[in-house]
Chains A and B, each alone.
Chain A
Amino acid sequence: MNRLLQIEFRKNISYPAFWVILGLHYFFLISFLLNINNLSGSFNFSSNEFQNIDISLVPVFKFPDIWQNITYLAGFFKILLGIYMVIAVTNEFQYNTIRLNLTSGLTRLEFLFSKFLVALIISLFSVFILFDLGIFVGLFKNDAVMNQDFFVKISFLGAYFLEIMFYMMLAIFLSTWLQKTGITIFMLLIYPLLIEPIIRWQIPDNIDQYFPVKAMDNLNVFPFPKYFGFPVNESVPLDSTLATIGWILIIFLLTYMLIRRKSL
């Protein structure tokens, strides 16, 4: 595993797109969260009846909801992480460097696993960033000392981890399947927004909650109605958690089956 990490470290660390895209991701994420209460007017969150909520009225950083709130908002920025994974994986096919990896002695499984590790490291780093941000901003904005409340909803950081991990695995799968950067990014964007919702259209709720994107979305649903008197999830739902973990494993396996018998 150290060997695979070392190899991916070499591939990524000198790649300008790695710094640019991930840099933009954390820059947008952090500056958005730090400034959220300065934003005025209504925000159109695509969550049906609770559209048009005045974000400046929402106490985003209030204990102990802070973790649920910031990880929910951070989820919007995962598109950039997905795009980076697409570029990193499709490059291997476009430049044919996957051949170089295999003819040097890497197995296809090791190759796939090395990309999984990249997604894992990026996810862990993102969780680390959000955790630090939560502690820093939480203490600052609440004008309070750290108390037991602080960590009550910390499990939403885990949900955030699963959400971006799932999204990057989807990016790896689509990249391996389609191999071309443009079309893969397009698919990565429209699958959650269009393709899966169309498939789910006629499927009853008790089944469609286990669909991959739906399960991922259900990890952390729009939490702000709480401040306007509506009930929301107070913890990460167990079935969505298990379903998302299941989908991450299934996508890994599907990707392996795709690449195992592929001529490159």
Chain B
Amino acid sequence: MDSVLSISGLTKHYGSVKAVQDLKLTISGGQVYGILGPNGSGKTTTLGMILGIIIPSKGRFSWFDHLPVNLAMNKVGSIIETPTFYPYLSAVQNLKIITDIKKKGSKEIENVITKVGLYERRNHSYKNYSLGMKQRLALAAAMIGDPEVLVLDEPTNGMDPQGIADIRNLIIEIASRGTTIILASHLLDEVQRTCSHVAVLDKGKKIFDGTVKDILESEEYIELAAEDMETLHQLLKEFKGIAEISRESDKFILRLSAGPTKKDLQKYLIQKGIYPTHLAVRTGSLEKKFLELLKKSQ
């Protein structure tokens, strides 16, 4: 896959505060890349830098193999922090300014406005919009010109549950067309459901990156119970390939290490004459991994 964005050594200081430190990331075409981190971890600053509105203190980033930022922005749609539009203009008038800047026809305005569910209010003045509607307009603006990349900073901020679901579905739909998406969020559930890759920032530093699939698999737990819990415990102790085991009232909770599979474990128990009365797989959550990572980095 072609590199869409490569970042190296990116650093931003605000006085003595190090908002982003020596960040390195590579994002390829078609990825849905989540950037996670607690409040103040440098997500928005990072996005501000790659969008050309915040000047980095040090380091480099390059869009589409060294395309100048303003030209890259023609292929990138973005939402950053709170939506910003001309308050005295309507949704349509605001979007016309964007189509002018991007040198696109204004024909698609109606299309994107319908997609985000603002069609009824399209000619109302922006200043009378609710936060959720402003956020929807921001997404519409980001979609102008059918961009190759969408950069979304907390896109569901201030939205009601229906809005959150709408936006999430829209993001998934856009991603399925092959659009690269860079999504910063502290809503882990949102990232888990939409992203393929994830990087975790804390205090301006990257503390993890990898695929969501790997994280979830490494966080998979098995619940196991049998009539004879003592024998089961003994056998589990002897089984090579258990990374972690604990007892939770009437069942064991265990996590397998890299080698053996769930099938291997079952086969082993049956061979030893133990038939589990309860066997369930608890899929991991990004939240758990995230909290674990943050704890480690403290």
Interface residues of A (CB under 8 A from B): 3, 6-7, 10-11, 14-16, 95-97, 99-107, 110, 261-264
Contact = CB atoms under 8 A, between A and B. Distances in A.
B136 to A, nearest CB: 15
B105 interface: no
B85 interface: yes
Nearest to B78: A103
B28 interface: no
Contact of B84 (A6, A16, A100): A100
A104 B101 contact: yes
A230 to B, nearest CB: 50
Contact of A10 (B54, B55, B85, B93): B93
A176 B81 CA distance: 22
Nearest to B103: A3
A121 to B, nearest CB: 17
13 contacts: A3-B100, A3-B101, A10-B97, A14-B93, A100-B97, A102-B70, A102-B73, A104-B102, A105-B71, A105-B101, A106-B101, A107-B70, A261-B55
Contacts of B97: 7, 10-11, 100-101, 104
B86 A104 contact: no
A6 B100 contact: yes
Interface stretch (B45-53, B155-163, B179-187): B45-53
Interface string B78-118: 10101011111100010011101111000000000000000
Contacts of A100: 84-85, 97-98, 141
A7 B102 CA distance: 11
Interface of B: 48, 51-55, 70-71, 73-74, 76, 78, 80, 82, 84-89, 93, 96-98, 100-103, 141, 144
A89 to B, nearest CB: 13
A39 B100 CA distance: 49
Given A7-B97, A261-B55, A95 B70 contact: no
A264 B23 CA distance: 20
A258 to B, nearest CB: 12
A201 B191 CA distance: 64
B88 A96 contact: no
Nearest to A101: B101
Given A3-B100, A7-B97, A103 B52 contact: yes
A16 B87 CA distance: 12
Contacts of B96: 10
A134 to B, nearest CB: 35
A96 B84 contact: yes
Contacts of A105: 70-71, 73-74, 101-102
Contact of A99 (B53, B88, B101): B53
Contacts of B73: 102-105
B54 A264 contact: yes
Nearest to B88: A15
Contact of A97 (B52, B84, B102, B144): B84
Q: Which 5 A-B pairs have the closest CB atoms?
A: A96-B84, A105-B73, A104-B101, A263-B54, A107-B70
Given A99-B84, A100-B97, A264-B54, 7 more contacts: A3-B103, A7-B97, A10-B93, A10-B97, A96-B82, A104-B144, A263-B54
Given A104-B102, A105-B73, A263 B85 contact: no
Contacts of A14: 88-89, 93
B208 to A, nearest CB: 27
Nearest to B144: A104
